[in-house]
């Protein structure tokens, strides 16, 4: 201990002398976090969740050839920590899942289409880094199902996710309630972390018009990003309200749900609202039918109360295709379909398009996958989703016999469903410009598959699609 203390004191003194006190203390804190991650995989998970929900765009004020983000380092720490645990034999024996092969094929198709797309677009440092993050997010599925093999750990993770999600929603509601000047001043304090470059927008409004209602953003920068995240968190929390032993005390959990719902409405994100509504309706029809009258009353209240009039008008304008944002989205859909018709099989890749009259951006996860990876990539993506829900359907009876697992299992699949429905109208969960959203999407899929496997193992069955060589497939 004396030798360790002397070494740390020498390192801190050298760091202060060469880099300054802030950088040295940051390095010391990072060293403690590295030790903590290597000793506790749960801490590694917590750090990843904390960055995703609270500071998704935070970067470090140093350059290592590129500017690393907090999420980059959190994910790398989680992967390295998990590898250390696996190498030390501190995780249970690895078993395969029904999704191992489809996810591996999707990962390979992603890489092939990216390399093929470089034939007509240059590879920049930004594209290379973001695509590496994209691949790592997909590959993290295998790490999740390796490390999460018992209900106790899954319960802890869901508890942390909902607690951090509540904090994100609370920050968004508080900033929305503040005067715009005060809220903007608080948000601009995030500039040292890479937020809000000079001259860029901070506060957001409908149609980017300050005369229109303000949209809640929290620390997510964009209201649609915040709304998409909240829709999945609401679906994840909903079954806990009916659980015998919820992950948080029931009064706290109901407060979490209420705050998330208010924050979701304040984002004015119509696609996210529809995604959350679809997930809650599906969960209610499948398991919680007594919640249907309450959901109906809540929906009527949202649509008819004077306090939500602006939201109702915004939603109806979008459904009728009357506002500018919706018409622009329809234009994106037409251009995306044109691009898919020209490059139907494997798309145009991720770096750029060969035709100057078209572009990659389109507000739909399905069209974006088809544009970048072609109909082949879209088909494999839909196969991944289909296998996930087919495996869940086959495990439903086993899940019903495990009341401690059922609300976790239902919530995770509801969260994935919310992402898929909201993804009809937005692209965040498959857009490599939003690393935290892609990472959260594959975390949800991995945790949902892990929950299904727990139920199947308890029932004494073998997961669908598992074979003798599945132990190496995640």
* 238 in any annotated domain: yes
- Looking at 91, 108, 143, the residue that finishes a domain is 91
Residue 343, Cα to own-chain centre: how many angstroms?
A: 29
Specify whether 303 is located in the same domain as 177.
yes
* 280 in any annotated domain: yes
Specify whether 159 is located in the same domain as 51.
no
Q: Where does 159-230 show beta strands of DSSP type E?
A: 204-205, 214-215
* 445 in any annotated domain: yes
* 450 in any annotated domain: yes
Specify whether 240 is located in the same domain as 210.
yes
Specify whether 48 is located in the same domain as 146.
no
Specify whether 25 is located in the same domain as 132.
no
Per-residue pLDDT tens over the stretch 181-203: 999 999 998 888 888 887 777 89
Which carries the bigger pLDDT value, residue 466 or residue 459? 459
- Looking at 70, 91, 112, the residue that finishes a domain is 91
Predicted pLDDT at 369? 95
Range of the domain at 426: 99-472
Model confidence at 466, in pLDDT bands (50, 70, 90)? very low
Question: What total number of domains does the chain contain?
Answer: 2
Specify whether 71 is located in the same domain as 161.
no
How many C-alpha atoms does 432 have within 13 Å on its Cβ side? 21
Specify whether 210 is located in the same domain as 77.
no
Q: Give yes or no for residue 82 having a pLDDT over 80.
A: no
What is the pLDDT averaged over residues 312-321?
A: 75
* 146 in any annotated domain: yes
DSSP-based three-state secondary structure for 376: helix
* 26 in any annotated domain: yes
- Looking at 91, 110, 139, the residue that finishes a domain is 91
Which carries the bigger pLDDT value, residue 322 or residue 351? 351
Specify whether 57 is located in the same domain as 134.
no
First to last CA, the chain: 39
Q: Give yes or no for residue 452 having a pLDDT over 80.
A: yes
* 10 in any annotated domain: no
Specify whether 72 is located in the same domain as 107.
no
Whether residue 233 contacts residue 165, with contact meaning beta carbons closer than 8 Å, is answered with yes
As a dihedral over the C-alpha atoms of residue 186, residue 187, residue 188, residue 193, rounded to 10 degrees, the angle is 120
Specify whether 182 is located in the same domain as 283.
yes
């Amino acid at each position: 201990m004396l030798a360790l203390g002397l070494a740390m004191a020498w390192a801190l003194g050298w760091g202060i002398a060469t880099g300054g006190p802030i950088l040295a203390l940051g390095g010391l804190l990072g060293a403690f976090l590295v030790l903590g991650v290597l000793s506790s995989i749960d801490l590694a998970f917590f750090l990843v969740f904390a960055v995703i929900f609270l500071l998704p765009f935070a970067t470090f004020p140093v350059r290592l050839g590129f500017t690393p983000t907090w999420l980059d380092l959190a994910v790398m720490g989680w992967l390295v920590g998990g590898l250390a645990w696996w190498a030390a034999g501190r995780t249970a024996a690895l078993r395969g899942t029904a999704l191992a092969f489809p996810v591996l094929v999707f990962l390979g198709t992603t890489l092939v289409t990216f390399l093929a797309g470089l034939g007509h677009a240059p590879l920049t440092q930004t594209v290379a880094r973001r695509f590496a993050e994209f691949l790592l997010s997909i590959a993290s599925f295998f790490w999740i199902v390796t490390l999460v093999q018992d209900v106790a750990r899954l319960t802890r993770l869901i508890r942390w996710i909902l607690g951090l999600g509540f904090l994100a929603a609370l920050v968004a509601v508080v900033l929305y309630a503040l005067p715009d000047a005060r809220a903007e001043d608080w948000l601009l304090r995030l500039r040292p972390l890479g937020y809000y470059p000079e001259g860029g927008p901070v506060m957001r409004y409908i149609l980017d018009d300050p005369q229109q209602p303000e949209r809640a953003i929290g620390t997510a920068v964009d209201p649609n990003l915040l709304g998409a995240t909240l829709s999945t968190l609401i679906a994840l929390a909903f079954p806990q309200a009916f659980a015998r032993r919820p992950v948080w005390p029931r009064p706290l959990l109901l407060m979490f749900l209420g705050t998330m719902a208010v924050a979701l409405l304040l984002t004015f994100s119509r696609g996210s609202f529809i995604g959350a509504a679809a997930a809650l309706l599906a969960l209610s029809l499948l398991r919680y039918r007594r919640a249907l009258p309450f959901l109906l009353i809540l929906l009527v209240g949202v649509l008819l109360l004077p306090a939500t009039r602006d939201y109702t008008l915004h939603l109806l304008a979008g459904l009728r295709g009357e506002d500018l944002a919706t018409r622009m989205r329809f234009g994106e859909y037409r251009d995306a379909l044109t691009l898919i018709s020209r490059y139907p099989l494997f798309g145009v890749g991720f770096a750029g398009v060969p035709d100057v009259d078209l572009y990659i951006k389109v507000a739909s996860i399905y069209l974006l996958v088809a544009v970048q990876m072609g109909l082949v990539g879209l088909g494999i993506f839909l196969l991944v989703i289909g296998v996930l829900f087919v495996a869940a359907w086959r495990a439903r009876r086993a899940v019903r016999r495990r009341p401690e697992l059922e609300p976790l299992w239902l919530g995770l699949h509801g969260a994935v469903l919310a992402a898929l429905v909201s993804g009809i109208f937005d692209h965040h969960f498959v857009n490599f410009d939003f690393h935290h959203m892609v990472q959260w999407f594959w975390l949800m899929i991995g945790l949902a598959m892990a929950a299904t496997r727990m139920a199947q193992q308890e029932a004494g069955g073998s997961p669908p699609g598992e074979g003798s060589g599945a132990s190496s497939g995640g």
